[in-house]
């Protein structure tokens, strides 16, 4: 049997802000776009638990967060700082693991099977890792312990915030059973709705479902869902997890057709993307832009360079070429993003690989 930990930092971006601004501690704190007195656009990246009490959460429009708690502290996203903190955290987790797999800026799996004989020892080990992270970085985290990645993740969620939660393999199905089906790892909103309309409200219900029916509806993924609902999951830690892309996106203050504004935004985003490319030590072959119009229609357009590049100019030039070639004239733009992908090598640290919004 393997023993797998999932470490997930608590309210990560906001915890980093509390760390350098102890005066924010315990007060509602929202990290994300500028609320501009309620007319601001863009979204909440995250918020601390004091802000969550007011119903604020990640990905919520910043204007709504402002309505919920006008006198919360609102601070902009500072990726460079969070990434620096993330690197420190990851070094500690790595030093505690036989095998280590970072899955996002604030989350990593650790295989500790060779370090501990049983679950009781694993809990002690997780405690000392948690304390070490706190001592080295000042940041709080939660740790889930189980025998596969899925269950370690589900245990961690249940232990949040600031907790350590063990779910033994033999208790996995029982632990999952009463939870709403939308809480199962990998089940997004659309799947949740489909499962509920099929009559599966809890994970336990899904666990008892006829696999053939699930496969009929979801294809092979239906069988995976059924396994997950029974607490069965993968226990292989993929050490050389590779980032697939690096990107950023931004929402305009007002929907715009102003080319100067759009070009300036594309340049600024491209330069941030380049900073990440440099930090990651990668070369890229593909540049993509994403345009979201005022009516929420959205387009991705890509160019392959035909060679690997690590030049900042290639990001901006190709982003602009794509914009001029594909943007619909006269249609107001709400949000724009730039991404690079098809990497040739990887050195250094990883980060969230998707478009990250603010
Ligand atoms: P999460 O681990 O999902 O959230 P969290 O660490 O803020 O809170 P929790 O205690 O529940 O783990 O995401 C890690 C960071 O990623 C988060 O601090 C900010 C960023 N993020 C976004 O920018 N947008 C999002 O929609 C989400 C979910 C996260
Ligand atoms: Mg987290």
Residue 12 Cα to ligand 1 midpoint, Å, equals 6
Residues taking part in catalysis:
107
User: Which CATH number describes the domain made up of 177-229?
Assistant: 1.10.150.20
- Higher pLDDT pick, 259 / 348: 259
Residue 354 Cα to ligand 1 midpoint, Å, equals 13
Please state, in angstroms and rounded to a whole number, the distance separating the CA atoms of residues 164 and 142: 6
Mean pLDDT along residues 212-218: 94
pLDDT at 352 over 60: no
- Higher pLDDT pick, 351 / 296: 296
User: Which CATH number describes the domain made up of 4-10+80-172?
Assistant: 3.30.70.270
Ligand 1 pocket mutation, candidates 10, 50, 102, 106, criterion most atoms within 8 A of CB: 106
Residue ranges of domains in the chain:
4-10+80-172, 14-79, 177-229, 245-357
> What does the pLDDT read at residue 351?
43
Q: What are phi and psi of 19, to 5 degrees?
A: -65, -45
> What rounded mean pLDDT belongs to the chain?
92
> What does the pLDDT read at residue 345?
62
Ligand 1 pocket mutation, candidates 46, 82, 160, criterion most atoms within 8 A of CB: 46
> What does the pLDDT read at residue 242?
63
Q: Which atom of ligand 1 is nearest to the CA of 352?
A: 16
Task: Write out pLDDT tens, residues 303-315.
Answer: 999 899 989 999 9
> What does the pLDDT read at residue 279?
79
Mean pLDDT along residues 128-148: 98
pLDDT at 350 over 80: no
Beta carbon of 59 within 6 Å of any ligand 1 atom: yes
Which residue bears the tokens 């072959």?
A: 285
Please state, in angstroms and rounded to a whole number, the distance separating the CA atoms of residues 286 and 315: 9
Residue 105 Cα to ligand 2 midpoint, Å, equals 9
Mean pLDDT along residues 86-105: 93
Task: Write out pLDDT tens, residues 308-336.
Answer: 998 999 999 999 999 999 999 899 999 99
**Looking at residue 36, what DSSP letter applies?**
G
Beta carbon of 100 within 6 Å of any ligand 1 atom: no
In angstroms, the first-to-last Cα distance of the chain is: 42
Element (H, E) at 30: strand 29-32
SS3 139: coil
Least-confidence region, from 61-65, 192-196, 259-263, 349-353: 349-353
Sign of the dihedral through C-alpha 83, 187, 49, 143: negative
pLDDT at 358 over 70: no
Residue 131 Cα to ligand 2 midpoint, Å, equals 17
Per CATH, 4-10+80-172 and 245-357 having the same topology is answered no
> What does the pLDDT read at residue 309?
92
Please state, in angstroms and rounded to a whole number, the distance separating the CA atoms of residues 248 and 277: 12
Mean pLDDT along residues 240-264: 88
- Higher pLDDT pick, 348 / 262: 262
> How much is the CA Rg of the chain, to the nearest whole Å?
22
Q: Are 282 and 344 in contact (CB under 8 A)?
A: yes
Sign of the dihedral through C-alpha 16, 282, 342, 296: positive
Please state, in angstroms and rounded to a whole number, the distance separating the CA atoms of residues 210 and 202: 15
Mean pLDDT along residues 278-295: 91
Q: What are phi and psi of 170, to 5 degrees?
A: -70, -20
Task: Write out pLDDT tens, residues 7-26.
Answer: 999 999 999 999 999 999 99
Q: Which atom of ligand 1 is nearest to the CA of 31?
A: 19
Residue nearest (by alpha carbon) to ligand 1 atom 5: 11
Residue nearest (by alpha carbon) to ligand 1 atom 10: 10
Please state, in angstroms and rounded to a whole number, the distance separating the CA atoms of residues 12 and 16: 6
Residue 149 Cα to ligand 2 midpoint, Å, equals 16
| Residue 143 pLDDT level (bands cut at 50, 70, 90) | very high
Beta carbon of 79 within 6 Å of any ligand 1 atom: no
Q: Which atom of ligand 1 is nearest to the CA of 9?
A: 6
- In a 10 Å sphere around its CB, with 0-12 CB exposed, 13-18 middle and 19+ buried, how is residue 112 labelled? buried
pLDDT at 238 over 90: no
Residue nearest (by alpha carbon) to ligand 1 atom 15: 12
Ligand 1 pocket mutation, candidates 6, 10, 12, criterion most atoms within 8 A of CB: 12
Q: Which fold has domain 245-357?
A: Dna Ligase; domain 1 (3.30.1490)
Please state, in angstroms and rounded to a whole number, the distance separating the CA atoms of residues 189 and 67: 25
Q: What are phi and psi of 136, to 5 degrees?
A: -80, -35
Please state, in angstroms and rounded to a whole number, the distance separating the CA atoms of residues 251 and 50: 26
Beta carbon of 161 within 6 Å of any ligand 1 atom: yes
Mean pLDDT along residues 75-95: 93
Class of domain 14-79 (CATH, top level): alpha beta
How many C-beta atoms surround the C-beta of residue 338 within 10 A? 31
């Amino acid at each position: 049997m393997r023993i797998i930990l999932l470490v997930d930092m608590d309210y990560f971006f906001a915890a980093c802000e509390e760390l350098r601004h102890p005066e924010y501690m315990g007060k509602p704190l929202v990290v994300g776009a500028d609320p501009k007195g309620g007319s601001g656009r863009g979204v909440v990246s995250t918020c601390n638990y004091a802000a969550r009490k007011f119903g604020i959460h990640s990905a919520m429009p910043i204007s709504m967060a402002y309505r919920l708690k006008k006198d919360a502290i609102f601070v902009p996203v500072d990726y460079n700082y969070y990434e620096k903190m993330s690197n420190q955290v990851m070094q500690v987790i790595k030093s505690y693991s036989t095998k280590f797999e970072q899955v996002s800026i604030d989350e990593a799996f650790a295989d500790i099977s060779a370090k501990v004989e049983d679950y009781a020892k694993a809990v002690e080990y997780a405690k000392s890792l948690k304390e070490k992270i706190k001592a080295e970085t000042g940041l709080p985290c939660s740790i889930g312990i189980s025998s596969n990645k899925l269950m370690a993740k589900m245990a961690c969620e249940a232990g949040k915030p600031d907790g350590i939660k063990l779910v033994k393999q033999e208790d996995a199905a029982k632990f999952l059973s009463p939870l709403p089906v939308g809480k199962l790892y990998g089940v997004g909103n659309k799947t949740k709705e489909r499962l509920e309309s099929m009559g599966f409200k809890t994970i336990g219900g899904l666990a008892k479902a006829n696999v053939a029916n699930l496969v009929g509806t979801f294809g092979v993924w239906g069988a995976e869902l059924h396994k997950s609902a029974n607490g069965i999951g993968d226990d292989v830690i993929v050490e050389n997890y590779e980032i697939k892309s690096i990107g950023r996106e931004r929402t305009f203050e007002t929907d715009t057709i102003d080319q100067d504004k759009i070009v300036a935004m594309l340049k600024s985003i491209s330069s941030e993307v380049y900073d990440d490319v440099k930090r990651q030590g990668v070369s890229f072959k593909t540049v993509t832009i994403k345009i979201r119009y005022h009516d929420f229609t959205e387009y991705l357009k890509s160019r392959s360079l035909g060679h690997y590049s690590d030049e900042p100019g290639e990001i901006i030039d190709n982003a602009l070429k794509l914009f001029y070639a594909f943007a619909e004239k006269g249609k107001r733009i709400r949000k724009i993003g730039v991404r690079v992908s098809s990497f040739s090598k990887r050195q250094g640290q990883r980060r969230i690989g998707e478009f990250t919004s603010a």
